[in-house]
Structure formats: structure tokens, C-alpha cells
Chains A and B, each alone.
Chain A
Amino acid sequence: MIADLMRTVRLGLKSLMLHKLRSSLTTAGILFGVASVIAMLAVGEGASKEALDRFRDMGVSNVLLRSKRPEETQASSSNSRFSINAFGLSYAEADRIQGLLPTTTVVRVREVVRGVVRGENWSSTITVGTEPDFLRVTNMKIREGRWITPLDLHNQENVCVLGESLARKLFPLENPMNQTVLVGTEDRFRIVGLLDYQGRAAGAAGTTYDECVFVPLSSSRRRFGDTVLNPTNNRFENIELNEIKVQARDGGEVEAVANVLRELLLPKNGSSVHKDKGDVEITVPLELLQQAEASKRMFNLVLAVIASISLLVGGIGIMNVMLATVTERTREIGIRRALGAKKKHIIQQFLVEAGVLSALGGLAGVALGMAVPYGIEHFFEQKTLILPPHVLLAFGISAAVGVVFGIYPAWRAANMDPVEALRHE
């Protein structure tokens, strides 16, 4: 049975080789259809995976409240540059949220831009002042040493934990553990822990947690004060907290928590300090994740339509060529019928030929479709992701297209009158 099929496939190949140019032009239709589907899926998968990973990294059971610098109004900028620009989230608000939502974990985060120096090595980076729960809420891992403890917080200890790339930058040759770094100009912090590589963005744009130094929140407040000079606009700013991470007990609670926080900080109806000022934004990673998934589904739907159209076009090409082939080989059909071929044999022969034709196109399409994302990744720095099931699906459909569009030509071939077919010149 298998041997018979192999033989039929081999004979099909031989017949296709009679018209190399025609056969390859026909397969080109399928080739480009399959290639474009695989390439587009890979690009789409890559892009959406990036987005989905980013939102997942934020924590699907978290609600993130961030302070943001309000738009500068005429009034505020005309103020003296020595006036203090106060905005954002406060300690009091964090306490109120914890009181209002007792089942959640509230983590306060304060970000101060400071130079971090170790001997000749230094880095201008974000000093993240935070609490022990930060590690769990952000789902980060300690590589060596320990994380910030409640005792550190209580004693306002000058201890710190380094992000992975910051540690490598400051201590290219030695082990950083228990060494000290100078944060800002006068405060020395002892390194008690090192973080694993995270590869994810910190709250502030353009920075990753790997480049940050982490200190107890109380120490940050004590050493740096609430009022800091913003080096980008040379103005003094007073921001108590840059971020409050609120972690719900589980994913199901996120929406309720998000609604309470929105109502509290940015009510839809009515007003609030933050709403008027525009200095707080609320991010719900779960919602973003769901949106990203919805838009991915939409993208896949559009892609499926495009794929169907291109495979339909390819299939029509195959049918066209198979009809020509059947007409051309009328005599061969007559001979085979005279030598004992039943209709089903003739159908099988031409179906296999059509299937081989489109499967060849499909194979070439798979090769091209896998090469294109590679090139895109290389030249455009756009992440792509080729999933094996997609490749198999695209190839399988292409082969099926050949068989489906081969049915009519094969049926025509099988139903020729053998006598007429033999007389055909």
C-alpha cells in the first residue's frame, strides 16, 4: 500500500518533470502563499509575545499606580524655578489603600536618580527605595545574598541590592557581596544581595531593573529627602512615592481592586486631586494582557483571511495546470485504461500529481517562510517567533489545497471514454 503510493508519487514527479517551467511556476503560487503566511505569523507571534511577556512581567494580579509629572502649565512654568513642584502619590495614600483593601499587598516604591560609584566605575541610575514585599510582587529572584528585610526598613539601614547588569558594571572583576558603593555624593551603602537577570523594564522608561540599585524605602527617604532636584529640567520636585504596586490576592480579584483604586484616585464622575492635576496613572496589566490577546486574535483572523485568499489563488493555478495536463495526456489516460486501469486509478494518479505539485510548493514556501523572519530579525531588530504547529498547518493546508483543486481535473480524466482517449492525437 505504502509502496504503491510511493510509486505513484514517483511517477507523478516524473510527469511533472516533463514540464519543469510550468510546474515550478504553478508551485510558485502556493509557495508565496505559504511563505507569506508563515512569515506573517512569525512576525505577529513575535510582536505579541513581546507585548504579552511585558504585561505578564508587570504581574497579572497587580494594579500599578504611578506618579507622573503633570503637563507644565503657563502658571507653573512662570513660577520661579526655585519653587517646588509637588505632585504624585503620597505615603498617606498608600496607607489609605492598604486600609481600604486589606486583602491586597501594597508595595511603596520611590525612585531617585543618583550616580552610583565604585572606585573608577560608576553609573547614573535609578535608586529604587522599596519594601520587602517588592520582591514577591514583582516576582524577581535573588541570585546571591538576601533581599531587603523589615529590620533594614525599621533601622533605615544603608544596605542595598544590585541589579544584575549594574553589579557587572561596577564590579567587573570582584564579587560585590559585602562591598560598599557610594550612592549620590555622601552615602555609602553596603551590598547585601544580588539579583538574578530579569530583562524587564523598570517603572521608569528606558531603564531595566537590572540596571537599578535597591535600598530600603525608609533609608531612601532619610538619605535623599522627599525633595529632589530633577536633573532633566533643573527643578526641585517633591514626589513622595513614584509607584504603588497593589497586588490582589488572585487574578479574579484584580478587576474589583482596579475599580476601587480608579474610583479612589481617578473617579470617572466627580473630581479628585490627581484627576485635576493629571499626575497619576493606573495600569492594570491583566487588562492590557486581555487587550493584547484580543488584538492578537483579530490579527490572526485577518491573517487567516489573507491566507485563504492566497491559497485559493494558488489552488486555482493548480487546477488550471492540471486541466491542461489532463488534456495533454489524454492518450496516456487511454493507454492506462486499456492496460487495466480503473477510474479510481486514474483519479488517484492525477490527485497525487496535484498533491505533489502543491506539496512541493508548500515545502519551498516553508523554507522561504522560515528564512524571511530570520532576515527580519536580523535587519530590523523585530522579534519574530516561528511556531512548529503553524509551519505544519501551513504545509498541510497547502498539500490539501492541491488535492482539493485536483479533484475536478482528476474526475475529468477518469471519466474520459477510453476509446476516444486512445484515438486522441
Chain B
Amino acid sequence: MNTASNEVIAEFVDVHRHYQMGDNIVRALNGVSMQVTKGDYLAIMGRSGSGKSTMLNILGCLDRPTAGEYRVGGRDVSRLSDDDLSDVRGREIGFIFQSFNLIPQLTVLENLEVPLFYQNRVGAESRAKAEYLADRVGLGNRLDHRPLELSGGQQQRVAIARALMNDPLFLLADEATGNLDSNTEKEILGLFDDLRRDGVTIVIVTHNQTVAGHADRTLWLRDGQVECIVDNLAERAAGSAAEAGGHA
């Protein structure tokens, strides 16, 4: 069942990103076009050097394309000022990092409030929301703990809750399970599945097949270009159909 509607929330239009390295120009992205629609669960894969990180940075509005357009929620953000990009990050994007990236001196509650703090939205409401989201990721009783008092899996749950605090257009996860053991990885991926079922749009950058396997679609990058986009749903459907056929 595909919950994705046709509303495009993030779109690359012939995006290039070139770096000057001495005398050479490195073409990290070389004409990438793609769309993320509402409710999508997209994995971006590729070998190292394929342009994954660059694509992640641009998707996250941490970097700007050299040429081409990047639209978030229909708005071209590729020429925005630093302050405006900060606003887009703060309002539209929920970051999840490989190494969790919680701020060590803050409690779980305070970490959850950080994104709203920069939009002057901290108060009773943000506290209620943090409590709700902490509960949702299964850490409702840990609000006063420091990150280092939590296990890796718990820290990543806090990070996921934090990414949801600003009701982003989409979650952007960077190797979200790279620092976790396989059991914990399963839990986190399960949490992503739950979120997706609730209609959260997820873009996950990874080189892990298992992780990508949970996504609806996988975009393969190679040498800064889109190699192919695989529809995992269709393959899964075909697979189970074949299995069903086999049994019949």
C-alpha cells in the first residue's frame, strides 16, 4: 500500500555541485534530478565518492548547488542567504545523524527543545511536545537524563524525537544506524517504519542494504549522477507474489 500522495516536497532539478580542488574541478554532483513526494520513504545509496554526502548536504540546506535548482516545499532554496537557509533547516528539515549528535551538557528535554529555541518557540507548548515525542520513541521517563547516561539506541531515539520537534516536511537521516549493533538497528528501523506508516516523509542516506531495504524506493548514485531508482515496493510485491506462486 502506497501512502505517498503526489505532493512534491523536495525536488532536485539538474543539480550540479562542483568543488575547486587546486587546478582540478571535482564534479561531486553532475546533473541530478529527482523528487521526494509526501509520505515517501527514500533511500539514497552509492559507493563512497559517488556524491552521497554532497547530496545529503544540499538536501539538508547545509550547502548550495553550484548550478540547478533545489526546491523545498515548492520554493527554490538554492540561492538563499545563510540566515534564510538556517530558517529552512529549522522549519522544514529534521536531521538524524550517524553519531546521534546530541549536545552533551543538555538534558534530553533540553536537547529536544533546541530546534524550537531558534524559532523562539520554547515554552509550555514545546515542553508538552517534547514529552509527547519522547513518549512516542519510548523514552518518556528519561527526560532529565544526560545523553551520555543513555545507550546508543536510546540516544538515537532522542535524536529522532528531536528531528520531529519542528514538524518537518521530511526527516533526513545520515547513516542513522551506522553506530548501532544489529539488534538496535532493527529497533530503529522499526521506528522508522512506524513513522512512515504515520505519514512521515523519510530520506535516508546509507550504504547498508538492510537499511535501504526498508525504504519504498532506493536511489543509486554513481559518479555524481543518478544511476537508477529502484521501486522496492514493486520488487517486494513481485517477490511475495513469486513466493505465493511458488506455494500454490
Residues of A participating in the B interface, judged by any CB pair closer than 8 Å: 4, 7, 11, 14-15, 17-18, 331-332, 334-345, 418-419, 422
Q: Besides the contacts A7-B117, A340-B91, A342-B82, what 8 more A-B pairs have beta carbons closer than 8 Å?
A: A11-B106, A11-B110, A15-B105, A18-B104, A332-B103, A339-B162, A341-B86, A344-B83
Of the A-B pairs whose beta carbons lie under 8 Å apart in the complex, a sample of 29, sorted by A's number, is: A4-B117, A4-B122, A7-B122, A11-B105, A11-B106, A14-B106, A15-B105, A331-B101, A332-B103, A335-B97, A335-B103, A336-B114, A337-B62, A337-B86, A338-B60, A338-B89, A338-B101, A339-B89, A339-B95, A339-B118, A339-B162, A340-B87, A340-B90, A340-B91, A340-B115, A340-B118, A343-B82, A419-B57, A422-B62
With a cutoff of 8 Å between Cβ atoms, the chain B residues found around residue A15 in the complex are 105
Interchain CB contact (< 8 A) of B89 among A7, A340, A345, A419: A340
- The contact string, 1 if C-beta is below 8 Å from chain A, for chain B 66-109, is 00000000000000001100110111000101000101111000
B193 within 8 A of A: no
In the complex formed, the residue of B with least CB distance to A4 is: B120
With a cutoff of 8 Å between Cβ atoms, the chain B residues found around residue A343 in the complex are 82-83, 86
Do B86 and A342 touch across chains, with their CB atoms under 8 A apart? yes
Min distance, Cβ B58 to any Cβ of chain A, angstroms: 10
Do B118 and A341 touch across chains, with their CB atoms under 8 A apart? yes
The answer to whether residues A340 and B103 also contact, given A419-B63, A422-B97 and a CB cut-off of 8 A, is no
In the complex formed, the residue of B with least CB distance to A331 is: B101
With a cutoff of 8 Å between Cβ atoms, the chain A residues found around residue B101 in the complex are 331, 334-335, 338, 422
Tell me if A's interface is mostly helix, strand, loop or mixed: helix
Min distance, Cβ A20 to any Cβ of chain B, angstroms: 12
A-B contact count (CB 8 A): 67
With a cutoff of 8 Å between Cβ atoms, the chain A residues found around residue B105 in the complex are 11, 14-15, 17-18
A334 to B115, CA, bound (A): 13
Min distance, Cβ A146 to any Cβ of chain B, angstroms: 75
A344 to B86, CA, bound (A): 11
Do A342 and B60 touch across chains, with their CB atoms under 8 A apart? no
A18 to B148, CA, bound (A): 13
Do B86 and A340 touch across chains, with their CB atoms under 8 A apart? yes
With a cutoff of 8 Å between Cβ atoms, the chain A residues found around residue B91 in the complex are 340
A316 to B222, CA, bound (A): 50
Residues of B participating in the A interface, judged by any CB pair closer than 8 Å: 57, 60, 62-63, 82-83, 86-87, 89-91, 95, 97, 101, 103-106, 110, 114-115, 117-120, 122, 162, 166
In the complex formed, the residue of A with least CB distance to B105 is: A14
With a cutoff of 8 Å between Cβ atoms, the chain A residues found around residue B89 in the complex are 337-340
A78 to B122, CA, bound (A): 97
Residue among A15, A332, A338, A343 with most chain B CB within 10 A: A338
Interchain CB contact (< 8 A) of A340 among B104, B106, B110, B166: B166
Min distance, Cβ A350 to any Cβ of chain B, angstroms: 14
The 5 closest A-B pairs by CB, nearest first: A340-B90, A340-B118, A342-B86, A339-B115, A335-B101
Min distance, Cβ A336 to any Cβ of chain B, angstroms: 7
In the complex formed, the residue of B with least CB distance to A18 is: B105
A7 to B118, CA, bound (A): 12
With a cutoff of 8 Å between Cβ atoms, the chain A residues found around residue B97 in the complex are 335, 422
In the complex formed, the residue of A with least CB distance to B163 is: A339
With a cutoff of 8 Å between Cβ atoms, the chain B residues found around residue A344 in the complex are 83
